Protein backbone atom coordinates (compact mmCIF):
# COMPACT_ATOMS: atom_id res chain seq x y z
CA UNK A 1 0.00 0.00 0.00
CA UNK A 2 1.31 3.40 -0.98
CA UNK A 3 2.30 5.71 1.87
CA UNK A 4 -0.11 8.62 2.32
CA UNK A 5 1.10 12.18 2.88
CA UNK A 6 -1.19 14.56 4.74
CA UNK A 7 -1.82 18.06 3.45
CA UNK A 8 -1.43 21.09 5.69
CA UNK A 9 -4.71 22.44 4.29
CA UNK A 10 -6.62 19.16 4.39
CA UNK A 11 -5.65 17.56 7.67
CA UNK A 12 -4.03 20.32 9.77
CA UNK A 13 -5.61 23.76 9.16
CA UNK A 14 -9.26 23.79 8.29
CA UNK A 15 -11.91 23.69 7.46
CA UNK A 16 -12.80 27.36 7.66
CA UNK A 17 -16.20 26.96 9.24
CA UNK A 18 -19.05 27.94 11.52
CA UNK A 19 -19.90 25.35 14.12
CA UNK A 20 -18.93 23.78 17.39
CA UNK A 21 -16.83 20.77 16.42
CA UNK A 22 -14.53 19.64 13.62
CA UNK A 23 -15.47 15.97 13.97
CA UNK A 24 -19.12 16.48 14.95
CA UNK A 25 -20.02 19.52 12.78
CA UNK A 26 -17.58 19.77 9.88
CA UNK A 27 -17.28 16.01 9.44
CA UNK A 28 -21.07 15.54 9.12
CA UNK A 29 -21.22 18.55 6.78
CA UNK A 30 -18.67 16.95 4.48
CA UNK A 31 -20.49 13.62 4.64
CA UNK A 32 -23.78 15.31 3.80
CA UNK A 33 -22.18 17.14 0.87
CA UNK A 34 -20.83 13.91 -0.61
CA UNK A 35 -24.19 12.18 -0.05
CA UNK A 36 -26.00 14.95 -1.95
CA UNK A 37 -23.63 14.71 -4.91
CA UNK A 38 -23.79 10.92 -5.02
CA UNK A 39 -27.60 10.92 -4.96
CA UNK A 40 -27.48 13.18 -7.99
CA UNK A 41 -30.73 15.00 -7.26
CA UNK A 42 -32.22 17.28 -4.63
CA UNK A 43 -32.67 15.47 -1.33
CA UNK A 44 -36.32 15.03 -0.30
CA UNK A 45 -35.91 12.72 2.70
CA UNK A 46 -33.00 11.64 4.85
CA UNK A 47 -32.91 9.22 7.77
CA UNK A 48 -29.65 9.29 9.73
CA UNK A 49 -29.11 6.60 12.37
CA UNK A 50 -26.56 6.55 15.23
CA UNK A 51 -25.79 3.82 17.70
CA UNK A 52 -27.24 4.72 21.15
CA UNK A 53 -23.75 4.41 22.65
CA UNK A 54 -22.03 6.59 20.04
CA UNK A 55 -20.78 10.14 20.49
CA UNK A 56 -23.27 11.32 17.91
CA UNK A 57 -26.19 9.96 19.91
CA UNK A 58 -25.28 11.98 22.99
CA UNK A 59 -24.30 15.26 21.42
CA UNK A 60 -25.56 15.51 17.84
CA UNK A 61 -27.68 18.58 18.70
CA UNK A 62 -25.31 20.29 21.12
CA UNK A 63 -22.37 19.91 18.75
CA UNK A 64 -24.35 20.71 15.61
CA UNK A 65 -24.05 17.32 13.92
CA UNK A 66 -27.68 17.66 12.84
CA UNK A 67 -26.97 21.05 11.30
CA UNK A 68 -23.79 19.76 9.63
CA UNK A 69 -25.48 16.78 7.97
CA UNK A 70 -28.43 18.92 6.94
CA UNK A 71 -26.45 21.84 5.49
CA UNK A 72 -24.37 19.41 3.45
CA UNK A 73 -27.52 17.67 2.19
CA UNK A 74 -29.09 20.87 0.84
CA UNK A 75 -25.82 22.26 -0.51
CA UNK A 76 -25.22 25.01 2.04
CA UNK A 77 -21.84 26.56 2.77
CA UNK A 78 -19.96 25.66 5.93
CA UNK A 79 -18.64 29.18 6.54
CA UNK A 80 -21.98 31.02 6.32
CA UNK A 81 -25.23 31.20 8.28
CA UNK A 82 -26.36 28.19 6.23
CA UNK A 83 -24.85 26.28 9.17
CA UNK A 84 -26.44 28.32 11.93
CA UNK A 85 -29.90 28.14 10.31
CA UNK A 86 -29.58 24.74 8.65
CA UNK A 87 -32.61 23.11 10.24
CA UNK A 88 -34.89 26.06 9.45
CA UNK A 89 -33.63 26.23 5.84
CA UNK A 90 -34.26 22.52 5.32
CA UNK A 91 -37.79 22.85 6.68
CA UNK A 92 -38.50 25.82 4.40
CA UNK A 93 -37.36 23.73 1.44
CA UNK A 94 -39.65 20.87 2.36
CA UNK A 95 -36.86 18.46 3.29
CA UNK A 96 -37.66 15.73 5.82
CA UNK A 97 -34.58 15.05 7.96
CA UNK A 98 -34.88 12.41 10.68
CA UNK A 99 -32.22 11.52 13.26
CA UNK A 100 -32.68 8.25 15.14
CA UNK A 101 -30.79 6.25 17.75
CA UNK A 102 -30.71 2.55 17.04
CA UNK A 103 -28.11 -0.24 17.37
CA UNK A 104 -25.48 -0.36 14.61
CA UNK A 105 -23.07 -3.15 13.75
CA UNK A 106 -20.26 -0.64 13.30
CA UNK A 107 -19.39 0.66 16.79
CA UNK A 108 -17.11 3.47 15.65
CA UNK A 109 -17.84 6.46 17.91
CA UNK A 110 -18.86 8.64 14.97
CA UNK A 111 -20.47 6.14 12.60
CA UNK A 112 -23.73 7.10 10.91
CA UNK A 113 -25.98 5.10 8.59
CA UNK A 114 -27.84 7.23 6.05
CA UNK A 115 -30.94 6.47 4.00
CA UNK A 116 -31.67 9.08 1.33
CA UNK A 117 -34.49 9.72 -1.13
CA UNK A 118 -34.43 12.36 -3.85
CA UNK A 119 -37.24 14.46 -5.31
CA UNK A 120 -37.33 12.19 -8.37
CA UNK A 121 -37.60 9.03 -6.29
CA UNK A 122 -34.01 7.77 -6.37
CA UNK A 123 -32.90 6.08 -3.16
CA UNK A 124 -29.44 5.45 -1.71
CA UNK A 125 -27.82 4.26 1.51
CA UNK A 126 -24.41 5.25 2.88
CA UNK A 127 -22.20 3.98 5.69
CA UNK A 128 -20.14 6.88 7.02
CA UNK A 129 -17.56 7.81 9.65
CA UNK A 130 -16.22 11.08 10.95
CA UNK A 131 -12.66 10.19 11.94
CA UNK A 132 -11.45 13.36 13.69
CA UNK A 133 -10.40 16.87 12.74
CA UNK A 134 -13.11 17.00 10.02
CA UNK A 135 -11.63 13.97 8.26
CA UNK A 136 -14.30 11.57 7.01
CA UNK A 137 -14.69 8.17 5.39
CA UNK A 138 -17.53 6.84 3.27
CA UNK A 139 -17.24 3.10 3.88
CA UNK A 140 -20.36 1.78 2.18
CA UNK A 141 -22.79 2.70 -0.58
CA UNK A 142 -26.01 0.77 -1.23
CA UNK A 143 -24.57 -2.17 0.68
CA UNK A 144 -21.25 -2.24 -1.23
CA UNK A 145 -18.13 -1.86 0.97
CA UNK A 146 -16.03 1.06 -0.27
CA UNK A 147 -13.55 3.59 1.05
CA UNK A 148 -13.37 7.21 -0.08
CA UNK A 149 -12.18 10.18 1.96
CA UNK A 150 -13.25 13.11 -0.18
CA UNK A 151 -9.71 13.88 -1.31
CA UNK A 152 -10.38 12.86 -4.95
CA UNK A 153 -13.28 12.89 -7.37
CA UNK A 154 -15.00 9.50 -7.33
CA UNK A 155 -17.35 7.61 -9.66
CA UNK A 156 -19.26 4.43 -8.77
CA UNK A 157 -20.29 1.99 -11.48
CA UNK A 158 -23.31 -0.24 -10.88
CA UNK A 159 -22.99 -3.24 -13.18
CA UNK A 160 -25.73 -5.32 -14.79
CA UNK A 161 -23.55 -8.31 -15.44
CA UNK A 162 -20.03 -9.69 -15.26
CA UNK A 163 -17.90 -6.89 -16.71
CA UNK A 164 -14.27 -7.63 -17.49
CA UNK A 165 -12.12 -5.21 -15.51
CA UNK A 166 -9.42 -4.81 -18.17
CA UNK A 167 -12.01 -4.05 -20.83
CA UNK A 168 -13.79 -1.70 -18.43
CA UNK A 169 -10.65 0.29 -17.67
CA UNK A 170 -9.82 0.54 -21.38
CA UNK A 171 -13.19 2.15 -22.02
CA UNK A 172 -12.79 4.49 -19.05
CA UNK A 173 -9.56 5.77 -20.59
CA UNK A 174 -11.59 7.08 -23.50
CA UNK A 175 -13.32 9.49 -21.12
CA UNK A 176 -10.88 10.16 -18.28
CA UNK A 177 -7.60 11.49 -19.63
CA UNK A 178 -5.86 12.06 -16.29
CA UNK A 179 -4.54 9.29 -14.09
CA UNK A 180 -7.14 7.29 -12.21
CA UNK A 181 -7.35 4.17 -10.08
CA UNK A 182 -10.06 1.53 -10.06
CA UNK A 183 -11.18 -0.52 -7.06
CA UNK A 184 -13.63 -3.40 -6.79
CA UNK A 185 -16.41 -4.08 -4.33
CA UNK A 186 -18.88 -6.93 -3.98
CA UNK A 187 -22.19 -7.38 -2.16
CA UNK A 188 -24.42 -10.45 -2.31
CA UNK A 189 -22.45 -11.82 -5.23
CA UNK A 190 -22.83 -8.61 -7.26
CA UNK A 191 -19.71 -6.69 -8.29
CA UNK A 192 -19.17 -2.94 -8.40
CA UNK A 193 -16.28 -0.92 -9.79
CA UNK A 194 -15.41 2.51 -8.47
CA UNK A 195 -12.66 4.87 -9.44
CA UNK A 196 -10.94 7.95 -8.09
CA UNK A 197 -9.34 10.68 -10.17
CA UNK A 198 -8.10 14.26 -9.94
CA UNK A 199 -10.03 15.06 -13.11
CA UNK A 200 -13.34 16.90 -12.76
CA UNK A 201 -16.07 15.05 -14.65
CA UNK A 202 -18.76 16.99 -16.50
CA UNK A 203 -22.30 15.76 -17.12
CA UNK A 204 -21.31 14.67 -20.61
CA UNK A 205 -18.44 12.65 -19.15
CA UNK A 206 -20.81 10.85 -16.79
CA UNK A 207 -23.13 10.10 -19.71
CA UNK A 208 -20.26 8.58 -21.67
CA UNK A 209 -19.21 6.47 -18.67
CA UNK A 210 -22.78 5.22 -18.30
CA UNK A 211 -22.63 4.02 -21.91
CA UNK A 212 -19.79 1.58 -21.11
CA UNK A 213 -20.91 -1.96 -21.81
CA UNK A 214 -22.30 -3.63 -18.69
CA UNK A 215 -22.69 -0.38 -16.73
CA UNK A 216 -26.22 0.19 -15.43
CA UNK A 217 -25.69 3.57 -13.78
CA UNK A 218 -22.98 5.85 -12.42
CA UNK A 219 -22.94 7.88 -9.22
CA UNK A 220 -20.39 10.68 -8.97
CA UNK A 221 -19.01 12.98 -6.28
CA UNK A 222 -16.44 15.73 -6.46
CA UNK A 223 -13.78 16.05 -3.79
CA UNK A 224 -14.67 18.01 -0.65
CA UNK A 225 -11.15 18.58 0.72
CA UNK A 226 -9.30 21.77 -0.34
CA UNK A 227 -6.28 19.99 -1.83
CA UNK A 228 -6.58 16.98 -4.13
CA UNK A 229 -4.49 13.94 -3.28
CA UNK A 230 -1.95 12.39 -5.60
CA UNK A 231 -1.50 8.85 -6.81
CA UNK A 232 2.21 8.87 -6.19
CA UNK A 233 4.37 10.75 -3.77
CA UNK A 234 7.77 9.92 -5.18
CA UNK A 235 8.76 13.58 -5.19
CA UNK A 236 7.77 14.30 -1.59
CA UNK A 237 10.79 15.69 0.25
CA UNK A 238 10.09 14.18 3.69
CA UNK A 239 7.41 12.70 5.96
CA UNK A 240 8.97 12.90 9.43
CA UNK A 241 10.76 15.51 11.50
CA UNK A 242 13.98 13.53 11.13
CA UNK A 243 13.57 13.46 7.37
CA UNK A 244 12.76 17.18 7.30
CA UNK A 245 15.90 18.09 9.23
CA UNK A 246 18.02 15.97 6.90
CA UNK A 247 16.37 17.69 3.93
CA UNK A 248 17.02 21.11 5.48
CA UNK A 249 20.76 20.58 5.92
CA UNK A 250 21.90 21.32 2.39
CA UNK A 251 20.23 24.75 2.20
CA UNK A 252 19.87 25.50 5.93
CA UNK A 253 16.08 25.80 5.61
CA UNK A 254 13.84 27.08 8.37
CA UNK A 255 10.82 25.13 9.60
CA UNK A 256 8.57 27.57 7.76
CA UNK A 257 10.36 27.00 4.47
CA UNK A 258 10.19 23.25 5.05
CA UNK A 259 6.42 23.55 5.42
CA UNK A 260 6.12 25.61 2.23
CA UNK A 261 8.17 23.17 0.17
CA UNK A 262 6.32 20.19 1.63
CA UNK A 263 2.90 21.59 0.69
CA UNK A 264 4.09 22.62 -2.78
CA UNK A 265 5.19 19.04 -3.41
CA UNK A 266 2.01 17.61 -1.82
CA UNK A 267 -0.43 19.79 -3.75
CA UNK A 268 1.40 20.51 -6.97
CA UNK A 269 0.67 24.20 -6.39
CA UNK A 270 3.13 27.05 -6.85
CA UNK A 271 4.76 28.92 -3.98
CA UNK A 272 2.42 31.84 -4.58
CA UNK A 273 -0.64 29.56 -4.50
CA UNK A 274 0.24 27.85 -1.20
CA UNK A 275 1.15 31.22 0.34
CA UNK A 276 -2.21 32.63 -0.74
CA UNK A 277 -3.99 29.67 0.85
CA UNK A 278 -2.11 30.21 4.10
CA UNK A 279 -2.67 33.96 4.10
CA UNK A 280 -6.40 33.31 3.85
CA UNK A 281 -6.15 31.02 6.88
CA UNK A 282 -4.26 33.79 8.71
CA UNK A 283 -6.91 36.34 7.67
CA UNK A 284 -9.73 34.29 9.21
CA UNK A 285 -7.71 33.55 12.35
CA UNK A 286 -6.95 37.26 12.73
CA UNK A 287 -10.65 38.14 12.51
CA UNK A 288 -11.60 35.49 15.06
CA UNK A 289 -8.84 36.70 17.41
CA UNK A 290 -10.01 40.32 17.29
CA UNK A 291 -13.64 39.26 17.76
CA UNK A 292 -12.63 37.23 20.79
CA UNK A 293 -11.48 40.27 22.74
CA UNK A 294 -13.41 43.16 21.16
CA UNK A 295 -16.88 42.03 20.17
CA UNK A 296 -18.10 39.39 22.58
CA UNK A 297 -21.60 39.59 23.98
CA UNK A 298 -22.67 39.10 27.56
CA UNK A 299 -24.73 36.02 26.74
CA UNK A 300 -24.24 32.81 28.66
CA UNK A 301 -23.12 29.68 26.84
CA UNK A 302 -25.90 27.16 27.16
CA UNK A 303 -27.46 29.50 29.68
CA UNK A 304 -24.78 28.41 32.17
CA UNK A 305 -21.31 29.71 31.34
CA UNK A 306 -20.75 33.48 31.27
CA UNK A 307 -18.40 34.65 28.53
CA UNK A 308 -15.27 36.04 30.20
CA UNK A 309 -12.51 36.66 27.62
CA UNK A 310 -13.37 40.30 26.87
CA UNK A 311 -13.82 41.08 30.57
CA UNK A 312 -10.45 39.49 31.36
CA UNK A 313 -8.74 41.33 28.51
CA UNK A 314 -10.10 44.71 29.60
CA UNK A 315 -9.14 44.06 33.23
CA UNK A 316 -5.57 43.27 32.21
CA UNK A 317 -5.30 46.21 29.79
CA UNK A 318 -6.82 48.70 32.21
CA UNK A 319 -5.06 47.21 35.25
CA UNK A 320 -8.30 47.11 37.22
CA UNK A 321 -7.19 43.95 39.00
CA UNK A 322 -3.82 42.83 40.33
CA UNK A 323 -2.30 40.11 38.15
CA UNK A 324 1.13 38.63 37.72
CA UNK A 325 2.97 40.45 34.96
CA UNK A 326 3.27 37.84 32.24
CA UNK A 327 3.72 40.41 29.50
CA UNK A 328 2.12 39.57 26.17
CA UNK A 329 1.11 36.11 27.41
CA UNK A 330 -1.77 37.59 29.41
CA UNK A 331 -3.30 38.95 26.22
CA UNK A 332 -2.67 35.77 24.24
CA UNK A 333 -4.43 33.70 26.89
CA UNK A 334 -7.50 35.96 26.60
CA UNK A 335 -7.49 35.54 22.82
CA UNK A 336 -7.26 31.76 23.03
CA UNK A 337 -10.07 31.60 25.57
CA UNK A 338 -12.24 34.05 23.65
CA UNK A 339 -12.01 32.24 20.32
CA UNK A 340 -13.31 29.05 21.90
CA UNK A 341 -16.00 30.95 23.82
CA UNK A 342 -17.17 32.52 20.55
CA UNK A 343 -17.70 29.08 19.06
CA UNK A 344 -20.43 28.41 21.62
CA UNK A 345 -22.35 31.65 21.09
CA UNK A 346 -25.88 31.42 19.74
CA UNK A 347 -24.67 32.83 16.41
CA UNK A 348 -20.94 32.06 16.28
CA UNK A 349 -18.47 33.60 13.89
CA UNK A 350 -16.20 31.96 11.35
CA UNK A 351 -13.19 30.04 12.65
CA UNK A 352 -10.40 27.80 11.37
CA UNK A 353 -10.30 24.35 12.92
CA UNK A 354 -6.64 24.17 13.91
CA UNK A 355 -6.42 21.27 13.98
CA UNK A 356 -9.77 20.83 15.77
CA UNK A 357 -12.49 23.12 17.10
CA UNK A 358 -11.73 21.98 20.66
CA UNK A 359 -8.23 23.45 20.24
CA UNK A 360 -9.29 26.31 17.96
CA UNK A 361 -7.89 29.19 20.04
CA UNK A 362 -4.31 27.99 20.43
CA UNK A 363 -2.63 28.53 17.06
CA UNK A 364 -4.45 31.84 16.30
CA UNK A 365 -3.36 33.22 19.66
CA UNK A 366 0.16 31.79 19.92
CA UNK A 367 1.20 32.33 16.31
CA UNK A 368 -1.05 34.79 14.44
CA UNK A 369 -1.94 37.21 17.25
CA UNK A 370 1.57 37.03 18.65
CA UNK A 371 2.93 37.82 15.21
CA UNK A 372 0.63 40.83 14.94
CA UNK A 373 1.66 42.04 18.40
CA UNK A 374 5.31 41.75 17.38
CA UNK A 375 4.75 43.70 14.16
CA UNK A 376 5.54 40.76 11.88
CA UNK A 377 4.56 40.95 8.21
CA UNK A 378 1.91 38.74 6.64
CA UNK A 379 4.65 36.76 4.90
CA UNK A 380 6.47 36.21 8.20
CA UNK A 381 3.27 35.10 9.95
CA UNK A 382 2.41 32.80 7.04
CA UNK A 383 5.89 31.24 7.29
CA UNK A 384 5.34 30.66 11.02
CA UNK A 385 2.02 29.00 10.20
CA UNK A 386 3.79 26.74 7.72
CA UNK A 387 6.24 25.79 10.47
CA UNK A 388 3.28 24.91 12.70
CA UNK A 389 1.57 23.10 9.81
CA UNK A 390 4.70 21.10 9.07
CA UNK A 391 4.68 19.74 12.64
CA UNK A 392 0.96 19.06 12.18
CA UNK A 393 1.65 16.78 9.23
CA UNK A 394 4.07 14.74 11.34
CA UNK A 395 1.32 14.28 13.93
CA UNK A 396 -1.26 13.45 11.27
CA UNK A 397 1.02 10.75 9.85
CA UNK A 398 1.91 8.95 13.07
CA UNK A 399 -0.62 10.16 15.63
CA UNK A 400 -4.09 11.64 15.73
CA UNK A 401 -5.91 14.92 16.26
CA UNK A 402 -9.04 13.26 17.60
CA UNK A 403 -9.91 13.54 21.27
CA UNK A 404 -12.02 10.42 20.92
CA UNK A 405 -8.99 8.59 19.54
CA UNK A 406 -6.16 9.78 21.78
CA UNK A 407 -7.60 12.20 24.34
CA UNK A 408 -7.04 15.94 24.66
CA UNK A 409 -3.30 15.41 24.23
CA UNK A 410 -4.19 14.93 20.56
CA UNK A 411 -6.18 18.18 20.39
CA UNK A 412 -4.76 20.84 22.71
CA UNK A 413 -1.49 18.93 22.92
CA UNK A 414 -1.07 18.83 19.13
CA UNK A 415 -2.07 22.48 18.67
CA UNK A 416 0.34 23.54 21.40
CA UNK A 417 3.15 21.53 19.86
CA UNK A 418 2.50 23.07 16.46
CA UNK A 419 2.36 26.53 18.01
CA UNK A 420 5.74 26.06 19.69
CA UNK A 421 7.31 25.53 16.29
CA UNK A 422 5.47 28.57 14.93
CA UNK A 423 6.75 30.80 17.73
CA UNK A 424 10.33 29.67 17.11
CA UNK A 425 9.88 30.53 13.42
CA UNK A 426 8.50 33.98 14.31
CA UNK A 427 11.57 34.63 16.43
CA UNK A 428 14.02 33.57 13.72
CA UNK A 429 14.99 30.20 15.19
CA UNK A 430 16.24 27.20 13.26
CA UNK A 431 14.24 24.20 12.07
CA UNK A 432 15.96 22.04 14.67
CA UNK A 433 14.94 24.48 17.40
CA UNK A 434 11.37 24.57 16.10
CA UNK A 435 11.01 20.79 16.15
CA UNK A 436 12.71 20.55 19.56
CA UNK A 437 10.26 23.09 20.98
CA UNK A 438 7.38 21.12 19.47
CA UNK A 439 8.72 17.96 21.13
CA UNK A 440 9.05 19.61 24.55
CA UNK A 441 5.58 21.11 24.33
CA UNK A 442 4.05 17.73 23.49
CA UNK A 443 6.03 15.98 26.22
CA UNK A 444 4.51 18.37 28.74
CA UNK A 445 0.96 17.38 27.89
CA UNK A 446 1.23 13.61 27.32
CA UNK A 447 -1.68 11.69 28.80
CA UNK A 448 -4.14 14.59 28.92
CA UNK A 449 -7.65 13.15 28.77
CA UNK A 450 -10.65 14.36 26.78
CA UNK A 451 -13.56 15.09 29.13
CA UNK A 452 -15.43 18.09 27.74
CA UNK A 453 -18.51 18.74 29.86
CA UNK A 454 -21.78 18.80 27.93
CA UNK A 455 -21.69 22.49 26.96
CA UNK A 456 -19.33 25.40 27.38
CA UNK A 457 -16.18 23.55 26.53
CA UNK A 458 -15.14 23.12 30.15
CA UNK A 459 -12.25 22.36 30.59
CA UNK A 460 -11.30 22.86 26.93
CA UNK A 461 -11.37 26.65 27.25
CA UNK A 462 -8.79 26.84 30.02
CA UNK A 463 -6.73 24.12 28.31
CA UNK A 464 -6.53 26.33 25.22
CA UNK A 465 -4.99 29.08 27.36
CA UNK A 466 -2.73 26.55 29.07
CA UNK A 467 -1.48 25.24 25.73
CA UNK A 468 -0.62 28.79 24.60
CA UNK A 469 1.39 29.30 27.78
CA UNK A 470 3.11 25.98 27.22
CA UNK A 471 3.91 26.86 23.60
CA UNK A 472 5.53 30.19 24.45
CA UNK A 473 7.42 28.80 27.42
CA UNK A 474 8.90 25.88 25.50
CA UNK A 475 9.77 28.03 22.49
CA UNK A 476 11.62 30.51 24.70
CA UNK A 477 13.37 27.73 26.60
CA UNK A 478 14.66 26.16 23.41
CA UNK A 479 15.68 29.50 21.89
CA UNK A 480 17.73 30.06 25.04
CA UNK A 481 19.52 26.73 24.69
CA UNK A 482 17.29 24.17 26.40
CA UNK A 483 17.27 20.79 24.70
CA UNK A 484 15.87 17.28 25.13
CA UNK A 485 17.11 13.88 24.05
CA UNK A 486 13.84 12.34 22.81
CA UNK A 487 13.14 13.65 19.29
CA UNK A 488 9.77 14.90 18.03
CA UNK A 489 8.99 11.80 15.95
CA UNK A 490 9.35 9.54 18.98
CA UNK A 491 7.23 11.85 21.14
CA UNK A 492 4.44 11.73 18.52
CA UNK A 493 4.52 7.93 18.42
CA UNK A 494 4.45 7.89 22.22
CA UNK A 495 1.40 10.15 22.22
CA UNK A 496 -0.38 7.68 19.96
CA UNK A 497 0.63 4.75 22.20
CA UNK A 498 -0.54 6.58 25.32
CA UNK A 499 -3.84 7.37 23.58
CA UNK A 500 -4.30 3.71 22.72
CA UNK A 501 -3.76 2.85 26.39
CA UNK A 502 -6.35 5.33 27.66
CA UNK A 503 -9.72 3.72 28.42
CA UNK A 504 -12.64 4.81 26.20
CA UNK A 505 -14.22 6.77 29.04
CA UNK A 506 -11.24 9.15 29.00
CA UNK A 507 -11.38 9.78 25.25
CA UNK A 508 -14.62 11.66 24.84
CA UNK A 509 -17.51 13.11 26.73
CA UNK A 510 -17.92 10.10 29.04
CA UNK A 511 -15.47 10.32 31.95
CA UNK A 512 -13.20 12.63 33.87
CA UNK A 513 -14.93 15.90 34.79
CA UNK A 514 -18.04 14.73 32.94
CA UNK A 515 -18.61 12.29 35.80
CA UNK A 516 -18.18 14.84 38.56
CA UNK A 517 -21.42 15.71 40.39
CA UNK A 518 -21.54 19.17 38.82
CA UNK A 519 -20.61 17.82 35.38
CA UNK A 520 -23.52 15.39 35.57
CA UNK A 521 -25.90 18.17 36.65
CA UNK A 522 -24.83 20.28 33.67
CA UNK A 523 -25.42 17.34 31.33
CA UNK A 524 -28.93 16.93 32.78
CA UNK A 525 -29.71 20.63 32.33
CA UNK A 526 -28.50 20.58 28.73
CA UNK A 527 -30.36 17.39 27.89
Give the DSSP per-residue string, 224-293.
Answer: -SSS---S--TT---SSHHHHHHHHHTTT--HHHHHHHHHHHHH---HHHHHHHHHHHHHHHHHHHHHHH
Same domain, 263 and 214: no
Predicted confidence (pLDDT) per residue in 88-126, tens digit: 999 999 999 999 999 999 998 899 999 999 999 999 999
Task: Report d(CA 181, CA 526) in Å as an integer.
Answer: 47
Secondary element (H or E) of residue 140: strand 135-141
Instruction: Please indicate, yes or no, if residue 80 is contained in any of the structural domains.
Output: yes
Q: Could you count the other beta carbons within 10 Å of the beta carbon of residue 265? A: 17
Same domain, 215 and 330: no
Task: Report d(CA 459, CA 342) in Å as an integer.
Answer: 15
Same domain, 215 and 261: no
Task: Select from 221, 251, 272 the last residue of a domain.
Answer: 221
For the chain, how big is the Rg over CA atoms in Å?
23
Continuous H helices in 374-459 = 378-398, 403-406, 412-426, 431-443
Predicted confidence (pLDDT) per residue in 172-196, tens digit: 999 999 999 999 999 999 999 999 9
Q: Is the predicted pLDDT of residue 245 greater than 60, yes or no?
A: yes
Same domain, 203 and 330: no
Residue 132: its pLDDT value, please?
A: 80
Instruction: Please indicate, yes or no, if residue 295 is contained in any of the structural domains.
Output: yes
Instruction: Please indicate, yes or no, if residue 377 is contained in any of the structural domains.
Output: yes
Q: How confident is the model at residue 298 (pLDDT cuts 50, 70, 90)?
A: low
- Provide long-range contacts, Cβ within 8 A and 24+ apart, for 268-277: 268/230, 269/227, 275/379, 275/382, 277/9, 277/226
Instruction: Please indicate, yes or no, if residue 226 is contained in any of the structural domains.
Output: no
The number of domains in the chain is 2
Same domain, 207 and 342: no
Task: Report d(CA 446, CA 465) in Å as an integer.
Answer: 17
Instruction: Please indicate, yes or no, if residue 228 is contained in any of the structural domains.
Output: no
Residue 260, domain extent? 241-526
Residue 220: closest CA among 232, 234, 204, 236: 204
Secondary element (H or E) of residue 197: strand 190-197
Q: Kindly give, in sequence order, each residue whose CB lies less than 8 Å from that of residue 407, ignoring residues fewer than 6 positions away.
A: 447, 448, 449, 450, 498, 499, 502, 506, 507
Q: Kindly give, in sequence order, each residue whose CB lies less than 8 Å from that of residue 94, ignoring residues fewer than 6 positions away.
A: 44
Instruction: Please indicate, yes or no, if residue 196 is contained in any of the structural domains.
Output: yes
Instruction: Please indicate, yes or no, if residue 232 is contained in any of the structural domains.
Output: no
Same domain, 201 and 259: no
- Alpha-carbon dihedral angle through residues 356, 360, 362, 363, given to the nearest 10 degrees: 80
Mean pLDDT, rounded, for 200-207? 95
Same domain, 382 and 285: yes
Residue 161: its pLDDT value, please?
A: 84
Task: Select from 188, 221, 254 the last residue of a domain.
Answer: 221
Task: Report d(CA 85, CA 312) in Å as an integer.
Answer: 31
Same domain, 33 and 82: yes
Same domain, 391 and 453: yes
Amino acid sequence: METYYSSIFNEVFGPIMIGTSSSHTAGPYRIGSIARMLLGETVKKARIAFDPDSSYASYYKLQWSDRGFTAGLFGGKIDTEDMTDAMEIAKERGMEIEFVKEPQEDKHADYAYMELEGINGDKMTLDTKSTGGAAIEIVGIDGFPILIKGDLNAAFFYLNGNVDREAFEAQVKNVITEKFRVKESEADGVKMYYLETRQFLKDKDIEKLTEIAGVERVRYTEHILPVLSRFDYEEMPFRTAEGALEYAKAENLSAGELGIRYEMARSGYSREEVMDLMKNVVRVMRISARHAIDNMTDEKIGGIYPIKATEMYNAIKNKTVRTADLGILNELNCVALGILEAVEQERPGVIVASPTVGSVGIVPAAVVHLGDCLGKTDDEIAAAMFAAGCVGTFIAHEGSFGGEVSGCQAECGSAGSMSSAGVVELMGGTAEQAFTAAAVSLQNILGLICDAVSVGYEPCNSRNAMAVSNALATANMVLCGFSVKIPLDEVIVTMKEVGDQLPPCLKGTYGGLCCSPTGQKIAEICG
